[in-house]
Chains A and B, each alone.
Chain A
Amino acid sequence: MRKLLVIVLLTLILLPISAYEFEKMKDQVEKFVLPNGATVLVLENHDVPVTHCITLARVGASNEEPGKSGIAHFLEHLAFKGTESIGTTNIKKEQKVIAESDAIFNRIIAEREKGEKADEERLATLQAKLDAKVDEASKYVVQNEFTTILEERGGTGLNAGTSQDFTVYQVSVPSNKLELWMAMEADRFTHPVFREFYRERKVILEERRLTLENDPSGKLMAKLADTAFEKHPYKIPVIGSAEDIENITRADVTKFFKTYYGAKNLVFAVYGDVYLEEVKEYAAKYFAKIPAGEKAPLMPVVEPPQTEEKEFVLEATAQPFLFIGYHTPEENSADFKALSALASILGQKQTSRLYTRMVETDKIAMYGFSFVGYPGTTYPNLFLIGSIPAQTSTFDENIVAIDEELARIKDAGITDEEFTAYRKGFLRQYLSQLDSGQYLPMQLAMAEAYNGGYEDLFSSIDEIESLTKEDIQRVANTYLVPENRTIGKLVPKGE
């Protein structure tokens, strides 16, 4: 058996990671930029008559102004509410009622701003008036027409997501419906109507209750970012504070939309049974109408360096959970690839350092893991180490074990076997992701928007090749130091 292992090891060292067909695939991607600045990426694949469609807006929660947290996500919800021609029976009358309802809400806001002196009775009267206007507006609404048109014509995987860094809209359509998607997507970002605003706010507050308030680990993650960051918007969760969500106005959303949803800030990507020429034709016909706007600059806020260890305890009706976050640089920095490799070797598989030590050897944790890039990657972010302590163990035991494993890497680096396994595993994971529908165009769009061009997606393998064991050891020594970290403990209530 030992002999077999040695043979396997030898073959591996002799086998270089081949670039497979990445170069060919890279050459197949076509990119063009419309006069208004919108970027379009096309990758043809004619196996099955389906097309995966992605719109990426270079805007996320980190672009929000103080007091307006949650607005990027709120906008993403409202982007499904239709346009001037989709989702309404009479746009003129609807717009009028919408304006009236907004006027009432502005008076509510003014009253609320009085704080303790706010007149509760007056607030209740205004709320009743607003509710009546909302009902009135709904008479002109064709509910969920935007999504219904797509679904009825075979659209699936209809979804959207907002992160700290970006907002993405996705759908897959039978390939004969390409024009439909392009027409609707252009309409959505040219003539949007943020209808049903007040009702959607309630839905968003329910989403917040579901994913944050009533989810202990969600709460712990949010508190970790809040504690680790002093100034940077990464401090605030994407969904926003309940108070801000309550006070956002439709005018705020419209302003945010005008600032960040210009064509220059949008990347479209289609992958599947399409032809470049038809995409170009429809893009000229539809996407070209989207107002140019401005390309959003990077956020100027710089997080000051952390100088001493921070720690917090969160009580919840749940079993213990430990998170440690270290400040690390952004994705486009030189060290990010090495940090990703470190995260994998330290805690992303059963042979990882943390799993071997904490779960298998010491049996002090049910699971130990690590990853980099929380809560975003465009700006400097956190390298996270987490553990689910065993009932028989303590937080201290877990932290000591983590520190000892970190020290081993810092002192002696990683082994040849670990390094080889990481590179080979990266390749396989990369391939399996490319093979999944919406993922590929989404990755193309992200690389185009954030990493200097879609070509970057195909150079990841080369970058992994140029990484050295020493790089990984060096970043562990540079960033994973106590004064640069925040320790968060979820402690069962009453213990």
Chain B
Amino acid sequence: MKRLILLVTVTLLLLVGCASNDVRKMTFKPLRDFTIPVVETVELNNGMKLFLSEDHDYPTVSISMMFDGGSVYDPESRHGLSEMVGDMLSQGGSANYPADELKKILDLNAISLNSSFSARTGNYGISYLKDTEELALDILKDVLLNPVFDEEEMEILKMQQRESISRRNDDDSDVVFKEFQKLIYGADSPYASTLEYDDLNALERIDLLKFYTYLVHPSRIYVSIVGDFEKDKMVAKFEEMFGGWNPPDYIAVLELPEVPVVMESSVNYIDRPDATQSWILLGHMTEFTKDNPDYFPMIVMNQILGGGFNSRIFKKVRTEMGLAYSPGAYYSTNYEIPGIFYVMSQTKTEKTTLAIDALIAEVERMQSTPVTDLEIYQAKESFLNSYVFKYEKKSAVVGTMRTLDLFGYPTDFMQQIKAGVEKVTKEDVERVAKQYLHPDKFSMVILGNGAEFDAPLSKYGEVNTIDITIPEATSSLKEVSEEMFSAGIPLFADILSKMGDARNLNTTTIEGTFTQFDGENSRNMDYKLTTRYPDKIVRTIEMEGMALEMIFNGEQGVQKVMGQSMPLQKSQVRDQFEQSYENLLWVSKYRDQYQPYDFGEQEFNGDTFKVLGLRRGEREFWLLLDQNNELKGKLALMGVDMEVVTWFKELQTTPNGTIQTKDETFTIEGVKVQETEITDIKWNPEIDDSVFSVE
């Protein structure tokens, strides 16, 4: 166990002067010494790091886990995945605490569980009253190790996300900041991402489960624990809960995407014809991270330029010109990637360019006008004298320390900042203003009613009008014309006439084998499919002596393996039935439920086929026919977005229906994924209803 005790005394500057009624000359005793809260760090064998600080003022405990890893690792086709993982982790229940029960338990015990993922890190935490500790820790553990990402909760969350997409243009400040981030980091950057309807629609529970396993690993978890607990007991409890957790670390081999420094001036306008007030944001990327020694003079420079009541921008734009309520200058520095410097203001429509000019002028003046003794004195004093507040809350001290550790910064970085600022000179401030501020490279975002501006924005350069219209969700269905639907009807009728008529079919049992291919490997399985049309199916798969049985009954489903039975998610049940409707027997039996259309001709493996589209609700698939309208195969979706072709190698036609008894399935690129062979079919057998029981 490593013990890190920080006994740093903080002494604040003594102001010298003589006693008088003038508060400006008031003298003060030096601020009394105090010790920075003690933070203990402990590393578990699997790499999980704990940062602990006891605080017995109130009977509460707060535990917060920070994950190294966020949306920077989202796969390209699953935009928004880690954000959804973050939202769902604390909402979606766990093996021992199903989502709906978890919510009630948390509420009854006043425990709060939260989670979220941002671009670079994730957070998962719990806070509770001390008397519920045992329960709270059990929940913390079970949700972390066995999250379920409950499907229904995910549906609710998706609904809420869709709503918030539809409302994202309601708030002017949200709009300008979002567009500004996109201009700075690039529209596709995880640091400026915007979730769209299509992104949401593409996300499935299985993606969340996979990605969670991929993303979360004990060696990349940094835990802060603050409150009314005993350190040794808490550490022992963490050892017990997580010490034996040693999953493979998939992400360790990945490299973080680079963020190159790019600065390009541009003038961007967002039209808001109703607005009586404009929003102005001007800025650019900054070329340094927090570990650059120029970080310290930048703190002071920004304080002078736009950080508070006494700053140049505040005094000029608000106090003197009366143009805005909250103008200012800001810079975000990050631990690893370039940050952003920007100046901003709101102002009434008729003063828009006046305010822009005033902001630019102050930035330029920062570069050209010397910093006065008073300015640097006040800026440093206010920063240093208020530094004690950084140590006021133990949770903030512990939180900062573990964040520093995650990003590989020294744990005394807070003290380094203070020491660094103390040494900053006027010359330093003037130098960094010249070096790092680039008013000629500002990305400008202006939202407002341009028709009423005091001067056209074109005075700053070519104006790019940003269209903030929210893109509609793209339908997954093909675009089909009336003619194609008309032509589909006789074609479908012809196909049906050539097939056995399955309309009198009530039950079937089908037995056979199928082989799955995965690169060089293949797996052989026996299967049996028992169906009572249209809503009861039992699927049994046997492989190497092990049997897996899945029962689908209406909306319910259950999975049985080795005597254990587990309920299936509703979407798994739904998917099973949806896919069944893409089989020939179902097509024949439920012929009235399909909308056929003639999709013309398409070439596969050098042969040309006629394509008959069959649409049912929000799904569709395609039958492939030769020039004589003979069935040759089908094209369908596997999962959300993988198209596969199944070739019918042998067809069997009986008075009860037509079915392929041998088939092979390939990806659209021609990679074989599976083949099946049917060995026995029973038409309308007697089946005891109990086999479909999901109880």
B-contacting residues of A (Cβ < 8 Å)? 1, 4-5, 8-9, 12, 15, 20-21, 47-50, 80, 85-86, 138, 143-144, 147-149, 151-156, 158, 172, 174-177, 179-180, 183-184, 187, 196, 198-207, 209-210, 213-216, 273, 316-319, 349-351, 359-360, 363, 366-367, 388, 390-391, 417, 420-421, 424-425, 427-428, 431-432, 434-435, 437, 493
Contact = CB atoms under 8 A, between A and B. Distances in A.
Contacts of A158: 309
B388 A48 contact: yes
B277 A209 contact: yes
Given A48-B388, A180-B26, A206-B348, A148 B309 contact: yes
A367 B30 CA distance: 52
A289 B544 CA distance: 93
A348 to B, nearest CB: 11
A-B residue pairs, 8 tightest by C-beta: A154-B385, A202-B322, A366-B163, A209-B277, A147-B309, A424-B110, A207-B325, A428-B110
B101 interface: yes
Nearest to A85: B22
Given A86-B23, A138-B320, A366-B159, A421 B107 contact: yes
A203 B319 CA distance: 8
Contacts of B109: 8, 12, 424
A26 B162 CA distance: 48
A351 B30 contact: no
B422 to A, nearest CB: 14
Interface stretch (B54-62, B485-493, B599-607): B54-62
A147 B60 CA distance: 36
Contact of A434 (B58, B103, B171, B348): B58
Nearest to A364: B159
Given A151-B309, A175-B31, A431-B60, A319 B167 contact: yes
Nearest to B171: A215
A203 B104 contact: no
Interface stretch (B214-222, B255-263, B268-276): B268-276
Contacts of A213: 276-277
Given A8-B105, A319-B167, A48 B26 contact: no
Interface in B136-193: 155-156, 159-160, 162-164, 166-167, 170-172
A349 B110 CA distance: 11
Contacts of A203: 318-319, 322, 324-325
A428 B60 contact: yes
B346 interface: yes
A431 B59 contact: yes
Contacts of A417: 104, 108
Contacts of A148: 309-310, 378
Interface in B26-78: 26, 28-32, 34, 57-60
Given A144-B315, A148-B310, A213-B277, A390 B159 contact: yes
A200 B592 CA distance: 73
B2 interface: no
A410 to B, nearest CB: 22
6 contacts: A1-B96, A50-B392, A86-B23, A183-B26, A391-B163, A437-B393
Nearest to B322: A202
Given A15-B131, A199-B319, A176 B392 contact: no
A367 B164 CA distance: 10
Contact of A149 (B24, B129, B155): B24
B243 interface: no
B15 interface: yes
Contacts of A215: 171
A206 B323 contact: yes
A9 B104 CA distance: 10
B554 interface: no
A427 B323 CA distance: 45
Interface residues of B, number: 80
Contacts of A138: 320
A367 B277 contact: no
B221 to A, nearest CB: 24
Nearest to A183: B23
Contacts of B335: none
Contacts of B393: 437
B58 A435 contact: yes
Contacts of B386: 151, 154-156, 174
Given A153-B15, A175-B32, A144 B348 contact: no
B382 A152 contact: yes
Interface string B340-353: 00000011100000
B684 to A, nearest CB: 40
B391 interface: yes
B320 A174 contact: no
B512 interface: no
Contacts of B272: 317
Contacts of B22: 85
A247 to B, nearest CB: 17
A152 B385 contact: yes
A20 B56 CA distance: 12
Nearest to B170: A318
A223 to B, nearest CB: 16
A351 B104 contact: yes
A317 B170 CA distance: 7
Nearest to B277: A209
Contact of B385 (A4, A153, A349): A153
A21 to B, nearest CB: 8
A435 B57 contact: yes
B105 A154 contact: no
Interface in B334-392: 346-348, 377-378, 381-382, 384-389, 391-392
Contact of B392 (A5, A48, A200, A424): A48
A321 to B, nearest CB: 9
B32 A143 contact: no
B439 interface: no
Given A5-B105, A213-B276, A431-B59, A366 B164 contact: yes
Given A143-B320, A203-B318, A216-B170, A388 B163 contact: yes
Contacts of A153: 15, 28, 381-382, 385
A205 B309 contact: no
A153 B29 CA distance: 12
Given A154-B386, A180-B23, A350-B103, A8 B324 contact: no
Contacts of B104: 5, 351, 417
B12 interface: yes
Nearest to B60: A431
A126 B121 CA distance: 59
A144 B314 contact: yes
A363 B157 CA distance: 10
A148 B127 CA distance: 38
Nearest to A138: B320
A48 B34 contact: yes
